[in-house]
Structure 1
Amino acid sequence: MTTRLDDRRAAVRTFFTQGRRRWMLAGALVAAAAGVAYWQYGPSGPGLPGSGSGAPGGMRAPGGPGMNGRPTPVQAKAVRSGELRVFLTALGTVTPVNSVTVRSRVDGELLKFHFQEGQMVKAGALLAEIDPRAYQVQLTQAEGQLAKDQALLANARIDLARYQTLLEQDSIAKQQVDTQAALVRQYAGTVKSDEGQVANARLQLSYTRITAPVSGRVGLRQVTPGNIVHASDATGLVIINQIQPIQALFALPEDNLPAVQKALRSGSTVLVEAWDRAQKNKLATGRLLTLDNQIDTTTGTVKLKAEFANDGKDGTEELFPNQFVNIRLLAETRPDALLLPTAAVLRGSQGTFVFIVRDDGTVTPRPVKLGPVDGEVVAVESGLTAGDKVVVDGTDRLRDGAKVEVVEPTIPAAKKSGGPRKGEQRRGGPGGGRPPAP
C-alpha cells in the first residue's frame, strides 16, 4: 500500500510540473506577439496599411521619428532662386565637313606616296605620283604637231599677202586669192586644234601628280606603290576627311521644333554640347548650324546639324568621324528660376512631393509641380518658395509630423588624410559619417 501511494504522489507532482512549463511557454509566446504588434502598429512603427498618416493624397512615406522619441537625422537644403539652362537631348553622329575619296584621273603605275597615314594635309599638297613618261611623250607629240601646223599657217599667210599684192596689180585672178585665204583659215583652225591637244596632254601629265583636293586628315592607303591604277578604280587611293571644323547630325522630336526655331530666330548663337557615350565627359562645345526642311514622317523627328571647332589644345581632336555622341542643345535660359535639388523629389500615387522642414523641427510632405531638369537641380513650377528647407537625404524614415534633426554631411577621415590612421577604425559610409542608431 505504501508503494502504491508513493507512485500516485510522484505522478501528481509530474503532472503539475509539466503544466507549469506549458503555461510559461504560452506566456512567452503571447509576450513576443505583443511586442511585435507594438513595434508594427505603435507610434514609431510603419503603421497600418492605408492609414491616414504620411504624405497627403496617398503620397505616404514609411517610418517616423527614431525609437524612444529621438528625432530622425536628415540632411536638408534650402530652395534657391538662380539661373536654369534648359537643354534638349538627342543622340548624334559625328560627320566630317568634307569627305573625299582621292582617285587617280589617269592610268599608270603608282610610283610613291608623299604622306604618312593619318597625318593632316592641306589642300593642294602632293599626295602621290604616277609614272609620267607616257604622258610626257604624248605632250611632246602634240607640241610637235602644233609647231608643224603653225609653220604651215605662217607660210600660207605669206602667200596670201603676195596674192593680194598681185591682185591689186591685176596680175592674178581673184579666185586664187580667195582660195589662199581659205587655206589660211584652215591652217588657223588646225593650229587651234593642236593647241587644244597640247593643253590636254599637259593636263593629263599634271594628273600624274595627285594633290589633296581639301584640307583634312588622310586615312589608310587603299593601294600600295608599284600597282597599276586606273581612273575607273572604285576604291581610290586614300580618303581625306575634313575634321577642323567638324559637324554632328542628330534628330529631335517634332514637339521640340518650336523651341529650336525660337532659339534660331533670336539671332544669338545656339549652344550645342557633345558628350561621350556614358554622358560623364563633355567632349566639345559648338553651335547649331541649321535644321532640315522637313519632318521625317516615319519617326516624327527633324534632323539638325551642329558644328564644332574640334581643335584640341593638346593637338588632338575631341571628335572623330562617325563617332557616337550624346547631344545637349541649349534651347532656353531661365535667369530667375526656383531651383530644387533633384535628390529631394519623391514620387507617390498622386504625383511628386517633397518633405519640408518646419521651424519646430518637424517635417511635412508638400506636393510640387516640377519643370525642366539641369544636372542635380530641377525647376519648381509651383508648391515651394525660395528659402524653404527640403530634406535631401533620410526621407525613407519620414512621415507627416515626424521630428527630425538636420545634420551636415561630413567628409570621411579616409578622404581627409588619405586613410585611417594606425589603430583607428573606418566609420561612416558614402556621403559622410552616420550618427549612432537610437
Structure 2
Amino acid sequence: MKKNIIILVSVILGLILLRYGFSAIMQFKMAQSMSKMTAPPVTVEEVKTDSVRVKVPSPARVLSEHRVDVVARVSGFLTKSYFKEGDYVHKGQVLFEIEPEQWLYELQQAKASVEDTRAKLIYAEKQLKRTEILVKKDYVSKASYDQLLSERDALKSQLALYRAKLSDAQRNYGYTRVKAPVSGRVGMIETTVGNFVNVSGEKLTTIFSSEPMYVTFPLSAKTYAYFLKVDKNNLKTPRKVELYLSNGDKYEYDGVQDFQDNAIDQSSGSIILRATFKNPDGKLINGDYGSVFIFSNDTIDSPIVPQTAVLENPQGKYVYKVVDDIAKMTFIETEGQSGSNWIVSKGLNAGDKIITGGLQKVTANQPVKVVTKEELAQSENEQKDDKK
C-alpha cells in the first residue's frame, strides 16, 4: 500500500514537472519568435578605410583688407564733399574740402619768408666775397670779415628753417583737400558740410576696401593639430577654402588660407585662421557672416562612415554597431568630412558593421534584423499603408 502511494505521488510530480517544463519551452520559443518579429529592420554597411582629403566646416566672417576711418588733418569748416555715400572711390580721390583760406595765407607767408631770406643770403654771399678780397689787401680787418661770415651762416640756417616751415605749410594746405587713403567703397558721411572739424580724430567717413577680401574663421586646437599632422609634408602650401554666403549660396571663387594667429584663444580653445578671396563683382561685403570648408593639402588613410549613420547626443557623436544582430551604441570621434562621409579618428575599425538605414526605430542593446535597402523600403511602405 505504501509502495503504491509513493508511485502515485511520483507520477503526479512527473506530470506537473512535464507540464511546467513544456510551458517554459513554449514561452521561450514564443519569446524568440516575438523578438524576431519585433526586431526593427535595418540596413548596414561595413566600415572601410580610404585615403581621404580632410574637409572641416567652420563659421566665418567677411572682412575688408583695409578698413580706414577718414579724418581731418587740419582744422576748419567743412565746405564741400565730392562723393555720394556708397560710392566706390579710388586712392587719392578728393572726398572733402576744408576751408582753405587760413592755410593758404600761412602758405603764402612761408613762401615770402623763404624768398626774403634767400635774397638776403645772396646779398650776404656777395658782400662776403668782396670783403674777402679787401682783407687780402689789408683794406678791411679780419674781424669785419668774420662778422660777415657769421651773418651769412645765420642766414643759411634761417633759410633752412623757413624752408621747413614752407614744407609744413604746403602739407597743411594740401590737407584742406581730404583724399581717399585707399581704394574702396565709402560708407556713411559722419560729419556733414558746414560743421567745424579738427585734428582730434573725429571721423568724417569710413572706406572699406573690396579687392581682395579676407574671411576669418576659428578651428579648435585639436582640429588644427590634426591638419598639421595630415599636411606635415606640405605645410607651406596655402590650403583651399570654400565659402558659403549668409544666404547659403556657395561663393563662386575659392580662397586660400594664408594666415593663422600666433596663439590659441584660452577661453574658446580655438585658433583664428584667415583666407583671402577675389571679389571682382563686390559680392563680399565687410562684416557679413557665412561659413567655410577648409581642405587639407594632403590625404590620410582613415576609416570613413556615411554622415547619415552618425547620431549625436550631449555625450558626443555615435553610431550603432551591429554585433550578433544586436545594436551596440558606439561613440566615435571625427576629424572633418570627406564628401558625404565623416572621417573617424577613434571608435571604429575597418570591417565593423554599422547601421545606416532604419535608425529611427533602433534601441541600444536590442536585436535588429539586417535587410537589404529594397526590403527596408518595402517594410516602411507597408507600415505607411497600415496607418492609413
TM-score by length of 2: 0.72
SS in 2 for 1:407: helix
Residue number among 321, 336, 341 corresponding to 2:286 in the alignment = 321
Residue 243 of structure 1 pairs with residue 218 of structure 2? no
Question: Are 2:179 and 1:211 aligned?
Answer: yes
Structure (1 or 2) with the larger CA radius of gyration: 1
The answer to whether the aligner puts 1:177 opposite 2:177 as a matched pair is no
TM-fit CA distance, 1:101: 0.9
What secondary structure is seen at the aligned counterpart in 2 of 1:271?
A: strand
> C-alpha offsets along residues 67-99 of structure 1, whole Å, 9 cap, x if unaligned?
xxxxx6x77778666553434444443333222
Residues 1:288 and 2:257 are matched in the alignment: yes
CA root-mean-square deviation: 4.1
Counterpart selection for 1:267 from 236, 255, 258: 236
Residue among 30, 33, 38 paired with 1:63: 38
Distance across 1 between alignment mates of 2:383 and 2:289: 42
CA distance in 2, matches of 1:188, 1:397: 97
| Residues 54, 343 of structure 2: 8 Å contact kept | no
> Is 1:346–1:354's contact at 8 Å kept on the other side of the alignment?
no
> Is 1:309–2:309 an aligned residue pair?
no
Q: Is the 8 A contact 1:292 1:302 kept in 2?
A: no
Of the three residues 355, 374, 378, the one matched with 2:342 is: 378
User: 8 Å contact 2:319–2:330 — kept in the other structure?
Assistant: yes
Query: In 2, are the aligned partners of 1:156 and 1:183 still within 8 Å (CA)?
Result: yes
Q: How many residues end up aligned between the 2 structures?
A: 346
Q: Name the CA shift for 1:341/1:306 in 2 (closer, same or farther; >3 Å).
A: same
Q: Matches of 1:158 and 1:94 in 2, distance apart?
A: 68
User: Offset of 1:229 from its aligned partner?
Assistant: 1.7
Instruction: Say if 2:113 and 2:162, in contact at 8 Å, map to a contact too.
Output: yes
- What is aligned with 1:25? none
Distance 2:382 2:197 in 1: 72
Contact 2:86 2:186 in 1 (8 A): yes
**Mapped partners of 1:212, 1:63: distance in 2:** 75
Which residue does the alignment assign to 1:392? Answer: 357
Quick one: which of 107, 120, 124 aligns to 1:139? 107
How far the C-alpha of 1:207 sits from its partner, in A, is 0.7
Residue 87 (structure 2) aligns with: 119
- The Cα shift of 1:330 comes to 2.9
Unaligned runs of 5+ in 1: 1-37, 48-52, 54-61, 66-71, 357-361, 411-427
Contact 1:79 1:390 in 2 (8 A): no
**How far apart in 2 are the matches of 1:389 and 1:256?**
25
Measure how far apart 1:103 and its partner are: 0.7
For residues 102-125 of structure 1, what are the alpha-carbon distances to aligned partners after superposition, in whole Å with 9 as ceiling and x for unaligned?
111111222222222222223222
User: Does the 8 Å CA contact 2:215/2:277 hold for their aligned counterparts?
Assistant: no
CA apart distance, 1:190: 2.0
Percent identity reads 22
SS in 2 for 1:181: helix
- Of 204-213 and 377-386, the range deviating more from structure 2: 377-386
Unaligned runs of 5+ in 2: 1-26
2:152 matches 1:188: no
Counterpart Cα distance in 2 of 1:323 and 1:273: 15
Partner in structure 1 of residue 223 of structure 2: 256
